[in-house]
Amino acid sequence: MGTSCGTGAGLRSRTKENKAQIVQEVIKNVWPEIEAGKVKIVIDEVFPLGKAAEAHHAMERSHFGKILLTC
């Protein structure tokens, strides 16, 4: 089995059906706001997966926005 890089916070324990419903609601209600520029996602830093320890240290210090790991 391959490595997955697409996980969502708080969704692991939900059923596949519930996850699908959440995705549809996001597409319907949230995505148009993002496309319209009404919602901005702030990314503080991006780290390759191999530097996960550095990303963890970045979370421990003061930061504003998301800290992302990339595959």
- The pLDDT of residue 42 is above 80: yes
Mean pLDDT of 6-12: 64
* Domain ranges (residues) in the chain: 16-70
Other Cβ atoms less than 10 A from the Cβ of 38: the count is 9
Single pTM value for the model? 0.53
Tell me how far apart the alpha carbons of residues 38 and 5 are, in angstroms, rounded to a whole number. 27
Q: What is the pLDDT of residue 3?
A: 47
Cβ within 8 Å of residue 49, ≥6 positions away: 5, 69, 70, 71
* Helix residue ranges per DSSP H, the chain: 16-25, 31-35, 52-60
